[in-house]
Amino acid sequence: MPIVLRNSTLLIFLIFSIFPLSLKSDKIFKSNQKVPALYIFGDSLVDSGNNAVLAGLKPRLPYGIDFYQRKPTGRATNGKTVVDFFALQLGLPLVPAYLTMSESEKRKITTGLNYASGGSGILPSSHNCNSVKTEYPCLPLDTQIYLYEDFVQRYLSNMFKNKADFDKYQSRAIFFVSTGINDQSNNLTKQMSADKFDDYLLGQLAIRLKRLYSLGARKFLVNNLPPRECFPASQNGRYKESCPTSAAAKKRYNIVFPKMLKKLQSQLPGSVFSQSDYFKFLVEFKVKAMNYGIRDALHACCPKKQHYHGTESCLANSTYCENRDTHLFFDMFHPSQITNNFYTKKCFNESSICTPLNLMQLAQA
């Protein structure tokens, strides 16, 4: 005579006895996510709040004026950064700043963290951290990588059932690195020629990318150096060179940069490196700004043009432009949200900026 289970509680008990659940999931990432995680390392272009925590400062408007709920977060622009748009394109939540996370949050998050810190650089000796210019601390690239290593050992690796699952997760995640401009800008001692310094800097970046690889990173998207001469800050004679009008006007760092990445990929089994030609994007975007609805590609939105002479910072009491979407730059060093959006669209869908793989192809690699 067949047994009929009349008690639903007993039925559930039997089912889970046969197919026990684990608190650690076998799934590497959700179906709507193109990758399981996005990890960020770099400077103020991609900092999402680490420096605000370090300095003990409350972020203030007009930074963040076009962010969700007009909320300033420590991002050095009026809204989203490039990595915010990257996260959205990849089906991920916005990547939180590591220093804003509580212990309990660190034990749960698997979709990525942002270790970037404004003013930082590749070299511990050439960044802006605790310099006379900034007066605030920041996290050099070495420290950012150490914090990631600590997170992996103390939290992330324990969220997976076994090492194979964890290794698969890391191999599918994307590691975005955007750094070096502060090293270039602060090479003031001139102890070596510009070309020799570029070669040295690239060698030091390669060492740190290898370090991330040793910690499990496999997919890398790495920015080259933007054209600092095109920043609004250059109006005060800060740099001797004028803003280039052609992407061909690259200096040694950006010329050798893709070769360095290609060499790393040949040396590191299972790795995939793609270059983000941020130099080319900004130069061409500035030349063709009107085609994108950008009416002012020279001045910062904050402070407003009539109050701006190339040296002023964007402060809480600064006047700013009414329409940020018509400005290439939000302040004297950082692009506006609209510029960040155009850049990430090109990097995600096209092959002219992010090569040899665009972001979508890198996610699928």
> DSSP letters of 243-274?
PPSSTT---HHHHHHHHHHHHHHHHSTT-EEE
Residue 307 appears among annotated catalytic residues: no
What percent of the chain shows pLDDT beyond 90?
Answer: 76
Band of the pLDDT at 128, cuts 50, 70, 90? low
pLDDT reading at 17 higher than 60: no
Query: For 178, phi and psi rounded to 5 degrees?
Result: -135, 95
In order of 106, 140, 162, 313, the CA distances from 55 in angstroms are 21, 15, 39, 17
- Is residue 177 within 8 Å of 223, Cβ to Cβ? yes
Say what the pLDDT of residue 193 is.
87
Interval 86-98 mean pLDDT? 98
- Is residue 301 within 8 Å of 325, Cβ to Cβ? no
Residue 334 appears among annotated catalytic residues: yes
Per-residue pLDDT tens over the stretch 180-237: 999 987 775 567 888 999 999 999 999 999 999 999 999 999 999 999 999 998 866 5
pLDDT reading at 14 higher than 50: no
Which listed residue (43, 47, 183, 331) is catalytic? 331
**DSSP bridge pairs for 97:** 114
pLDDT reading at 106 higher than 70: yes
Residue 167 appears among annotated catalytic residues: no
* Residue among 39, 50, 360, 51 at smallest CA distance from 177: 39
Band of the pLDDT at 321, cuts 50, 70, 90? very high
Say what the pLDDT of residue 131 is.
52
Say what the pLDDT of residue 137 is.
84
Say what the pLDDT of residue 125 is.
78
Interval 270-298 mean pLDDT? 96
Which listed residue (43, 44, 126, 318) is catalytic? 44
What percent of the chain shows pLDDT beyond 70?
Answer: 84
pLDDT reading at 302 higher than 50: yes
pLDDT reading at 118 higher than 90: yes
DSSP E strand boundaries for 150-247: 174-178, 219-223
pTM equals: 0.90
- Is residue 336 within 8 Å of 77, Cβ to Cβ? yes
Say what the pLDDT of residue 13 is.
37
Distance CA 156, CA 281 (A): 35
pLDDT reading at 272 higher than 80: yes
Which listed residue (127, 299, 327, 334) is catalytic? 334
Q: Mean pLDDT lowest for which of 1-15, 33-47, 289-303, 321-335?
A: 1-15
Say what the pLDDT of residue 24 is.
52
Interval 332-337 mean pLDDT? 96
Interval 56-64 mean pLDDT? 94
Mean pLDDT of all residues belonging to the chain: 88
Per-residue pLDDT tens over the stretch 132-142: 444 568 999 99
